[in-house]
């Protein structure tokens, strides 16, 4: 099935836009009620029982019959029946009991999809199943939350909300305690924020006056952060665990002081209707206008619902305001990035047990990471494993003893990264020393009988002293290795937080693309980093399909299309008219700012005009500038194994009529076989926004887009920055695109 089928034909999409514009004009003229009763009507204009009239009359392109059509063969009957049930679900006819019955029926369909996704036998259709699973799960969850919101008891809901907010504060205190326990002297800050008093008061009852007073006291203490003159104290109190406690406390206080009032069913019904339409629009086209409409509808619901909109907000936060960038890495992959190995040779010159010891030794060391569980940052032991092989001669007045040493050691040092600062603990070491006496010479060596006797005596004495000599060796190794290990790790990670801030975060902040939320976690086997880039009028990620965020053998970078689109908005193409060169410089300037270093694209290849070119080819040579639309000039959508690039722009050409603004959809299939990444462009779809095109104009656009976005192949091998200045080889082994997400697997 083509992308055109999945998203609707150009004519259908064009008709939908015209319908929206007409409805807006008619509403402005004050005749919406009469139109709703006429040919434009798609459902009741006023509130009915439950969710009747809330959802659009037809499912969105992600859940219409065409979306289910690829499930043929053994799935054909199930596919047809499910598509029909989804269509019936959208109508929401009948009373509330009937509507809940429809929701329950779709839950069973959803369970079938989830069971198939977990079964390797259905791997061939997993992308199609996942593409249906996400949109369907989101709408079922939203519809159920809407019905529950309409049926809430205000007093009961206020009590439940207060209890939940109190529990969130208790959890935030536990997280703070766990975070501070890993820092030297960290627990000393707990009395400052009065966390024990607050936890005790909440345990006695979240609705009690004691809990309210304790929460205000903790909030006041945390608020003093801004007035501190000591920069280190201010930075310490700005750690994520403190910020999370402050946010949870503020939300608890807001719930505690809110009055329980009756809901307005009519207002909620209208707000639900706006929310459902905006969500369908956003998921289908990723437009900024629909994102704004979702946020506005949620704000109105929070004002009207007796629970302050918590149930609906929970759905939006999980499915439309979730993290939109995730990084998962196995312990082995982390080890590649921070690991190191060395071989050092050196002379031995020591004095041990009355002997002058000299010789040569080779020390081999390797550094790796041993991950530890942590919910408040990435925690790991940096592990130094080493072996020392030596050949020495110990000289005394009586004899020279030749010894072969084979020693090993293991040193560990804990490191914690909370998203801002690296904190290191003291190092510990264990040493295993082993000496083997390989020979001896004495003053009598060379004499036939006495020489051998003296040699045996010297060897025996060396053997007797072996335990003491090995104990000294352990001490010597510990004394040499431990201070150096401590010093080098402290130096490396002491500067790392500052480097991340100056070399990465500062640029992202100046470009407006620094995440507004970050989380860092580790387990025994992997690290997980997640972040969210979103603005006041933007949406973010959904719940990713489990197959995208499953434990990584190497590493996975998982991105939602919202992070791409939100970044595009900050680059700001809106309403701009630029030549290709000006466009390149515009993007280079933004990336240079974001990366805090100069960024340049490779110069484009020169194109030699073809002789005897046709009319369209001749027009291709006419200097032109891209005139981007003011709204949504560029949009990216990750769907069904493809990246869909949507360009809304026209062309201004010297001596020619301008080509009016068009919506140009460019499907790109991106795959990797482990050695190379392939990008294959599909057929372009062009829909007129400000006017239709002539045949020549259409060919001009197709040729220009084709020249700018040709099929490509590039190496799958990449170089990553490791500790110090090391470069680490990695390869892109797989690329998955499904349900708004792209997952890039590395090994």
pLDDT at 96 over 50: yes
- Please give the pLDDT value at position 265: 85
pLDDT tens across 526-538, in order? 999 999 999 999 9
d(CA 251, CA 160): 14
Query: How, if at all, do strands 659-672 and 685-688 pair?
Result: antiparallel
Residue 41 — very low, low, confident or very high, per pLDDT cuts 50/70/90? Answer: very low
Contact, 681 vs 666, CB < 8 A? yes
54: three-class secondary structure by DSSP:
coil
Can you give the pLDDT at residue 229?
86
| CA atoms of 708 and 664, how far apart (whole Å) | 13
Given pLDDT bands bounded at 50, 70 and 90, which one contains residue 332?
Answer: very high
Q: Could you read off the pLDDT of 553-584 as tens digits, one per residue?
A: 899 999 999 999 999 999 999 999 999 889 99
- pLDDT tens-digit profile of 195-253? 999 999 999 998 889 999 999 999 999 998 888 888 888 888 888 889 999 999 999 99
Q: Contact at 8 Å (CB) between 711 and 681?
A: yes
Instruction: Determine the 3-state secondary structure of 598 from DSSP.
Output: coil
**How far is Cα of residue 622 from the mean position of the Cα atoms in its chain?**
43
Q: Which long-range contacts (CB under 8 A, 24 or more apart) does 339-346 make?
A: 339/366, 339/367, 339/368, 339/369, 339/722, 339/723, 340/366, 340/367, 340/722, 340/723, 340/724, 340/726, 341/365, 341/366, 341/367, 342/366
Structure confidence at residue 353 as a pLDDT band (50, 70, 90)? confident
Lowest mean pLDDT among 344-353, 508-517, 577-586: 344-353
Mean pLDDT of 622-645: 92
Contact 133, 114 (CB under 8 A): yes
- Greater confidence (558 vs 695) lies with 558
Please compute the mean of the pLDDT values over residues 10-23 and round it to a whole number.
43
323-346 mean pLDDT:
92
The predicted pLDDT at position 457 comes to 83
In this structure, are residues 215 and 249 in contact, taking their beta carbons and an 8 Å threshold? yes
Q: pLDDT at position 257, please?
A: 86
Instruction: Give the percent of the chain with pLDDT over 70.
Output: 90
The 10 Å Cβ neighbour count of residue 605 is 7
Asked if residues 704 and 627 have their Cβ atoms less than 8 Å apart, the reply is: no
pLDDT of residue 260: 66
| Cα dihedral sign, 444-450-451-454 | negative
DSSP reduced 3-state for 605 = coil
What's the pLDDT score for residue 613?
43
Confidence grade of residue 604 (pLDDT, cut at 50, 70, 90)? low
Q: Is residue 244 within 8 Å of 168, Cβ to Cβ? A: no
326: number of CA atoms within 13 Å, CB side?
28
The model's pTM is 0.80
Task: Please state, in angstroms and rounded to a whole number, the distance separating the CA atoms of residues 648 and 626.
Answer: 10
Closest CA to 488 of 365, 332, 372: 365
Pairwise pLDDT comparison (527 vs 260), residue with the higher score = 527
**CA dist., res. 180 & res. 374, Å (int):** 12
Per-residue pLDDT tens digits for 424-475: 999 999 999 998 888 888 877 777 777 788 788 878 887 888 888 889 889 9
Q: What is the mean pLDDT of the chain?
A: 86
Reported confidence tier of residue 603, pLDDT bands at 50, 70, 90: low
Mean pLDDT value across residues 621-628: 83
Give me the mean pLDDT over the 714-723 stretch.
86
The pLDDT, as a whole number, for residue 497 is: 83
Q: What is the pLDDT of residues 498-509, one digit of tens each?
A: 888 888 899 999
pLDDT tens sequence across 216-225 = 999 999 998 8
Share of the chain above pLDDT 90, in %: 58
Residue 520 has pLDDT above 60, yes or no: yes
Q: How confident is the model at residue 394 (pLDDT cuts 50, 70, 90)?
A: confident
- Rounded Cα–Cα distance for residues 89 and 270 (Å): 18
* CATH pick for 544-576+615-746 out of 3.15.10, 3.30.310, 3.40.50, 1.10.3470: 3.15.10
Q: Can you spell out the DSSP letters for 8-40?
A: --HHHHHHHHHHHHHHHHHHHTT-HHHHHTTTT
């Amino acid at each position: 099935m083509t992308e055109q089928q999945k998203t609707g034909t150009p004519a259908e999409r064009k008709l939908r836009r015209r319908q929206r514009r007409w409805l807006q004009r008619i509403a402005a003229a004050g005749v919406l009620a009469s139109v709703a009763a006429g040919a434009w009507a798609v459902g009741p204009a006023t509130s009915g029982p439950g969710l009747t009239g809330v959802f659009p009359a037809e499912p969105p392109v992600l859940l219409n019959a065409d979306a289910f059509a690829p499930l043929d063969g053994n799935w054909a009957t199930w596919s047809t029946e499910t598509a029909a049930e989804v269509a019936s679900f959208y109508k929401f006819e009948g009373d509330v009991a009937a509507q809940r019955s429809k929701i329950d029926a779709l839950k069973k369909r959803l369970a079938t999809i989830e069971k198939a996704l977990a079964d390797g036998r259905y791997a061939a259709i997993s992308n199609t199943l996942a593409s249906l699973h996400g949109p369907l799960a989101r709408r079922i969850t939203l519809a159920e939350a809407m019905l529950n919101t309409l049926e809430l008891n205000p007093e009961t809901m206020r009590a439940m909300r207060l209890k939940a907010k109190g529990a969130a504060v208790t959890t935030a205190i536990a997280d703070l305690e766990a975070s501070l326990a890993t820092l030297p002297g960290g627990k000393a800050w707990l009395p400052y924020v009065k966390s024990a008093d607050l936890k005790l008061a909440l345990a006695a009852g979240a609705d009690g006056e004691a809990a309210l007073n304790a929460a205000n006291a903790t909030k006041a203490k945390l608020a003093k952060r801004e007035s501190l003159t000591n920069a280190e104290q201010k930075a310490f109190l700005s750690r994520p665990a403190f910020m999370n406690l402050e946010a949870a406390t503020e939300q608890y206080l807001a719930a505690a002081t809110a009055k329980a009032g009756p809901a307005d069913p009519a207002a909620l019904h209208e707000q639900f209707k706006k929310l459902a339409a905006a969500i369908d629009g956003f998921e289908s086209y990723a437009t900024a206008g629909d994102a704004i409409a979702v946020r506005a509808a949620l704000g109105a619901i929070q004002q009207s619902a007796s629970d302050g909109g918590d149930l609906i907000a929970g759905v939006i936060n999980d499915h439309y305001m979730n993290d939109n960038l995730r990084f998962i890495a196995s312990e082995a992959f982390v080890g590649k990035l921070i690991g190191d190995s060395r071989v050092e040779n050196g002379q031995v010159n020591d004095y041990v047990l009355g002997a002058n010891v000299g010789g040569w030794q080779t020390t081999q060391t390797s550094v790796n990471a041993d991950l530890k569980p942590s919910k408040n940052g990435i925690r790991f032991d940096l592990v130094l494993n080493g072996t020392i092989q030596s050949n020495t001669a110990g000289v005394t007045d009586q004899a020279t003893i030749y010894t072969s040493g084979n020693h090993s050691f293991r040193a560990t040092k804990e490191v914690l990264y909370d998203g801002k600062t690296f904190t290191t603990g003291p190092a510990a070491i264990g040493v295993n020393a082993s000496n083997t006496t390989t020979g001896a010479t004495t003053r009598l060596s060379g004499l036939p009988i006495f020489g051998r006797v003296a040699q045996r005596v010297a060897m025996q004495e060396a053997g007797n002293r072996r335990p003491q000599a090995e104990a000294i060796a352990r001490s010597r190794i510990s004394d040499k290795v431990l201070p150096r290990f401590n010093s080098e790790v402290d130096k490396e990670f002491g500067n790392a937080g500052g480097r991340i801030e100056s070399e990465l975060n500062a640029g992202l902040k100046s470009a407006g693309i620094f995440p507004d939320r970050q989380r860092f976690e580790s387990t025994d086997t992997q690290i997980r980093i997640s972040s969210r880039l979103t603005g006041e009028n933007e949406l973010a990620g959904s719940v990713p399909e489990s197959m995208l965020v499953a434990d990584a053998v190497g590493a996975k970078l998982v991105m939602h299309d919202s992070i791409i689109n939100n970044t595009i908005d900050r680059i700001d193409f809106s309403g701009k008219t630029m030549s290709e060169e000006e466009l390149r410089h515009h993007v280079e300037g933004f990336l240079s700012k974001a990366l805090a270093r100069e960024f340049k694209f490779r110069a484009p290849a020169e194109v030699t005009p073809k002789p005897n070119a046709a009319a369209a080819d001749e027009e291709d040579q006419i200097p032109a500038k891209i005139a981007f639309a003011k709204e949504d000039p560029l949009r990216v959508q990750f769907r069904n194994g493809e990246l869909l690039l949507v360009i809304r722009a026209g062309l201004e050409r010297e001596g020619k009529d301008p080509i009016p603004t068009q919506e140009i959809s460019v499907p790109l299939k991106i795959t990797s076989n482990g050695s190379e990444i392939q990008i294959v462009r599909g057929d372009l779809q062009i829909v007129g926004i400000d006017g239709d095109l002539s045949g020549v104009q259409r060919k001009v656009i197709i040729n220009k887009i084709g020249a700018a976005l040709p099929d490509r192949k590039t190496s799958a091998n990449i170089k990553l920055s490791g500790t110090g200045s090391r470069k680490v080889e990695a390869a892109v082994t797989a690329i998955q695109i499904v349900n708004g997400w792209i997952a890039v697997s590395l090994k």
